[in-house]
Amino acid sequence: MKIIVCVKQVPDTSDIKWTENNTMVREGVESIMNPFDEYAVETALRIKEASSETTITAITMGPPQAKDVLKRAIAMGADEGILISDKKFAGADTQATSRTLAAAISTKIGEYNLVICGMYAIDGDTAQTGPSIAEHLDIPQITYAKELEYTGEDSITVKREVDEGSQKVEMRLPGVVCMLKCDYEPRKPSIKGTMKANRTQIPEYNLEDIGLDPSVVGIKGSPTIVSKAFRPEPRESGEMIQAGSPQEAAQALIEKLKAEKILA
């Protein structure tokens, strides 16, 4: 079985700071593997552990330093990594990104059974790239996947979580699975894995290598543009209820709500 895992390097959004002029401080923000993608890698590794014939290729599109997330995937246990990198890819929206990744998968990997992505990237939060890759590859998808139940060469059974509850679904392969965070934690890279990652040559492909026209990639190939970015209006804070015991605090809160005619 051949598995492709799509990973993305993202800034750690839990650690964002702002300048006095309300612009984001980008310097010194740590770059990490998108946390949802760590679950995608972990899920692939679990399939590999269950069937030794499996190989895992991690792929990313990004600047040269995005190689770091491929090294991390290899250190976790992936077999190889592929970097798709070209200045012409810069400024891509989800449409151009997914088109580029799909073209790279088709031209540089070719045969595969399964593509696993993280459901969201924590910087963009769009959840669009996985399904769009599936569309460009013309294969089916399972979004909001929480747990893999069965994997064979031709089909996969997945538990997914949707607004109404959870579902068990079966997909004929090849297909794309977009992972939420699962009940199992992604493993940390081992020392042996890290040494292997440092030894592994990561091939790098540019626009010409994947055979797309310059007009369909990067900012030129992106139908959407950001016209404005701003910080959300903060909500005003209210009052703290100062009271001694929990009972007194509860009572004081109830009095406030009664005064506001919310409780009667």
Partner 1 sequence: MSEHKGIWVIAEKTPENQIAGVSLELVNAAKGLSQKLSGEEVGVLLLTGNDDVEPLLKELSEAGAQKVYLVRDENLERYSTELYSKAACDAITQKKPSIVLIGATTTGRDLAPRISARLNTGLTADCTGLDINEQGLLAATRPTFGGNLMATILCKTCRPQMATVRPKVLPKAEPDTSNSARVEKLDINLDPSAIKVKILECLNACQSAGCKIEDAEIIIAGGRGIKNAEGFKILEGLAESLGGAVAASRACVDAGWRGHCDQVGQTGKTVCPKIYIACGISGAIQHLAGMNSSDIIIAINKDPEAPIFQVATYGIVGDLFEVVPALTEAIRNSRLTCSC
Q: What is the largest CA-CA distance in the chain?
A: 71
CB closer to partner 1 out of 79 and 123: 123
CB-CB neighbours of 190 under 10 Å: 13
User: Which residues are CB-contacts of 52 (< 8 A; sequence separation ≥ 6)?
Assistant: none
CB closer to partner 1 out of 8 and 48: 8
Query: What DSSP character marks residue 14?
Result: G
Nearest partner of 9 among 73, 55, 102, 76, judged by Cα: 73
Minimum CB–partner distance for residue 178 and partner 1 (Å): 9
Minimum CB–partner distance for residue 152 and partner 1 (Å): 14
Nearest partner of 100 among 208, 176, 3, 224, judged by Cα: 208
Cα of 54 vs its chain's centroid, Å: 22
Minimum CB–partner distance for residue 220 and partner 1 (Å): 10
Minimum CB–partner distance for residue 143 and partner 1 (Å): 5
CB closer to partner 1 out of 56 and 134: 134
Amino acid, res. 260: E
CA distance 8 to 10: 6
First CA to last CA distance, the chain? 64
Minimum CB–partner distance for residue 60 and partner 1 (Å): 19
CB closer to partner 1 out of 67 and 256: 256
CB-CB neighbours of 181 under 10 Å: 16
Minimum CB–partner distance for residue 239 and partner 1 (Å): 6
User: Which residues are CB-contacts of 19 (< 8 A; sequence separation ≥ 6)?
Assistant: 25
CB closer to partner 1 out of 60 and 143: 143
CB closer to partner 1 out of 62 and 81: 62
